[in-house]
Amino acid sequence: MPLTVTPVPCLSDNYAWLLRASDGRLAVCDPGEADPVIAAADALDGRIDTILLTHHHGDHVAGVADLVKRYGCTVVGAAADAHRLPKLDLAVKPGERFELFGVPVDVIASDGHTRGHIAFHLPDCAILLCGDTLFSLGCGRLLEGTAAEMFDSLAALAALPPETLVCCGHEYSESNARFALSIDPDNAALQARAAEIARQRTEGRPTLPTTIGEEADANPFLRAADVAALARIRAAKDNFR
């Protein structure tokens, strides 16, 4: 695999994602905090060359300034969100492709949680960096976008190959599993995934990445039949305790 990906826990429940090339070069997606990313890079005797940003929220960008100051990183993010992001060196648009360490990266529109949200798909590595659009057994809150926008965004991600690694922004899997089971209790794939999540968290391990195939089988948001169904499920999750 040209690049490998590793979660770096940040803040209370965020993940930044560290991408490592075969020659040792490093990139990071959504560094909500600098120190854990620096520690992860130091452990590999490396330096962060590139920062990828999916959206503007502080818990995904707060570490950028310190990383740029330390490493002189190239910062990549959405042109449509550039006014709310840290200063970009490369502003990209959905449908475009760029290269990261010689590996192609496709930019996918992911509106819904926020407008201007993007995801990064690395087809040669089966990696999806999806920020707060798709979660393990969940999806992002509709803070700026609509259910229709989120439905379209999830449909685009669901169309990716089933082995694609889903690298999302938060460790929400346990609470998402409880909600998913409350509305789809007879789903065997969901039951198995919930049991695995419980084991992972008991052992202190991340529940991520998951895969597009696993989400297609168990994630109620990805399985919603239409916009109205997604809107109902999202509203129910917003009020779930």
Binding residues: 55, 57, 59-60, 113, 132, 170
Token readout for 208 is 């991520």
Token readout for 139 is 């999806």
* DSSP code, position 88: P
Token readout for 13 is 């429940």
Residues forming the annotated binding site for Zn(2+)? 55, 57, 59-60, 113, 132, 170
Q: 131 CB contacts (<8 Å, ≥6 apart)?
A: 30, 54, 55, 60, 110, 113, 117, 118, 119, 140, 168, 169
Report the alpha-carbon distance of residue 63 to residue 39 in Å, rounded: 13
* φ, ψ for residue 166, nearest 5 deg: -95, 110
Spell 208-238 as b/e; 16+ CB within 10 A means b: bbbbbbbbbbbbbbbbbeeeeebbebbeebe
